[in-house]
Amino acid sequence: MTIPSDQKLQSRVNALHQELHYHNHRYYVLDDPEIPDSEYDKLLRELQDIETKHPQLLTEDSPSQRVGAPPLSEFTQVTHLIPMLSLGNAFSEDEVLAFEKRLLDRLNGNATKDQEPENPMTTLEYAVEPKLDGLAVSLLYENGILVQGATRGDGETGENITANVRTIKSIPLKLTGNNIPDILEVRGEVYMPKASFESLNKRAREQDEKTFVNPRNAAAGSMRQLDSSITASRNLAMYCYATGRMEGANLPDKHSDALKQLANWGFRICPDSKVVSGAKGCLDYFNEIGNKRDDLSYDIDGVVFKVNSLDLQNQLGFVSRAPRWAIAHKFPAQEQMTLLKDVEFQVGRTGALTPVARLEPVFVGGVTVTNATLHNMDEINRKDVRIGDTVIVRRAGDVIPEVARIVPAKRPKDAKKIVMLDTCPVCESEVKQIEGEAVSRCTGGLICPAQQKEAIKHFASRKALDIDGLGDKLVEQLFDEKLISNISDLYALKAEQLSNLERMGDKSAENLIAALEASKKPSLARFIYALGIREVGETTAKSLANFYRSLEVLKHTDEEHLQEVEDVGPIVANHIVSFFQQAHNNEIIASLFAAGIEPIIPEKLADDAEMPLKGSTYVITGTLSSMGRSDAKKHLEALGAKVSGSVSKNTSALIAGEKAGSKLTKAESLGVAVLDEEAMLKLFEIHATES
């Protein structure tokens, strides 16, 4: 029997896929190639020739798709199903010891409610790894195929960079191995190896182009290219460090073993990761990595310590936007000596005057620094900083450079004392310092152009309304051209006004108008945060939105009632009430609503009476035939239950679907109640009837 030619071609394409994926993995992940580059290139050319002549055989997971896709006009947004949280920082040994003490106190205190634990924990096991200085990304796989790549963004919303991540050869387009999940989200750090960074800058210098300051900036800039062929030319790499959403498979009970499982599926794991015991083991590792930092092939700015047990991670939980069970131990800040030439006072969104040191340019922490914060007058007086002093400038990671201290021996005789201004440098209103506060403020309020500008910048910022394309420089330009004077004016802008501005063509103007239109339906929490009420950050704004579920109700609430909201104390309550008592603020809010702003009201949070499973912890394992595990999780959480990823003595019940594995065995050994799928559905039905 003769095999049809198209069937032969498909068979050959499948074979080439398998062979090229295998050699990609050996070369870019295992660093152990089997064949010379010329042989690999020969296989790739054969595949490309077939796909060119028979485009119907081209698939998303083809190894040929590493070269880049057609350029994009813009990035779309991606909402992370599980937020990508940030880490708390430690800068000293004492802070690392305090971190472990907090964990042990919480775990031992949670062991029983009525008495001290019989066998209190005295130390913990940690998974430790270098903290790469790159760009955090999220990769989503469905049935083993890469379908989406996204930046971290603000932790809840990132940018879709799928075309760019496909070009990174150490990121698998198709997973390998056994027991591959139906859905898998992997998180990692995209970075530029030091050798690639040097080569990139060398080429730029030869072509008389602008060079990158450091590998981190080069990696971030490369990942945000609209033309993915440019990203493909930059030789980026990725190490993965965690998982997010996962369905259709289980991970081992330890973080370190979970990483090994990811390696079995084809991901690169940092070879310098380890498992250590106790805070002492963490500190020893910190010193070990610090000693060989310069010899590593990638840039790092510290190390990360994570409690290795996933069960303990779940018990420890989260605080604000960071996990309790992990911390980043940063390397000491880099410092350099330079001359303080002058001091200027910048006026912020809330009128605070911040002294800024103007410096003789100095290269520190990977960038050239010309300005540094002096914080406030109390700090200036404490450090005895004067104009003309030789100062030590400190920079750690992305932290704003600061004047750390002076060099007394180098002080000139004509060094000038720094004095707080009596009037605002922008609007000439009186400057006052409120008792109990370290900062002095301009009393001009929203008649002060500086405060107006900063309020608009804040409103448009990523964590607020995230108006794409409306950066600080454009806000300054629009304000100086008198096209806007407050946030509501943004929505009256016309494309023809914008296109007449310097460096703003018709396309850019149209894009900004579209971005403004797209920003008209923010969540209520984002809208409250965007208003710029003093002391109301993201977390407090979210608490206010969930509690009141209406801006109108919030506007007419008194200080006493506001303090019933989580995160709101008397000072914050006073700021909120004061903000809504100002007629000018209410006029601007009314103008925003008239322009079409419609904040999205959060779903109503259930009362305790409607949450019969509150205080219980469930674990789901195996395959469910009636619904996906994520849907089952939503049902449980809607009833008030916490859904954990691992079984412990504190687990209320395990829901076991088909092919339940080690979690079922562990539950049975601990005497944890086990529900099959039928019992789970009955549980949902009973509580649905009750409600």
Active site residues: 131
**What stretches of 519-582 show up as alpha helix (H) in DSSP?**
524-530, 538-548, 551-555, 559-562, 570-581
Place of tokens 């790739």: 44
Separation between Cα atoms, residue 260 and residue 268, nearest integer Å: 10
Compute CA distances 9 → 4, 42, 174, 669, whole Å.
9, 17, 20, 53
Rounded to 5°, the CA angle 586-592-598 comes to: 115
CB within 8 Å of 115: residues ≥ 6 apart: none
The helix-helix angle for 583-594 and 570-581 (nearest 10°) equals 70
8 A C-beta contact, residue 158 and residue 150: yes
Separation between Cα atoms, residue 562 and residue 556, nearest integer Å: 10
Separation between Cα atoms, residue 454 and residue 426, nearest integer Å: 13
Pairing, β 440-442 against β 431-433: antiparallel
CB within 8 Å of 5: residues ≥ 6 apart: none
Separation between Cα atoms, residue 367 and residue 348, nearest integer Å: 24
**H or E element that contains 673:** strand 673-675
- Per-residue HEC secondary structure of 6-27 comes to HHHHHHHHHHHHHHHHHHHHHH
8 A C-beta contact, residue 136 and residue 59: no
CA-closest candidate to residue 445, choices 348, 377, 537, 529? 348
8 A C-beta contact, residue 356 and residue 377: no
Separation between Cα atoms, residue 168 and residue 235, nearest integer Å: 7
CA-closest candidate to residue 438, choices 348, 377, 355, 353? 377
DSSP, residue by residue, 448-516 = SHHHHHHHHHHHHSTTTT--TT--HHHHHHHHHTTS-SSGGGGGG--HHHHHTSTT--HHHHHHHHHHH
CB within 8 Å of 138: residues ≥ 6 apart: 78, 80, 84, 148, 149, 150, 151, 152, 158, 185, 186, 187, 244
**H or E element that contains 393:** strand 390-395
Tell me the HSE value of 222 on the side-chain side, using a 13 A CA sphere: 32
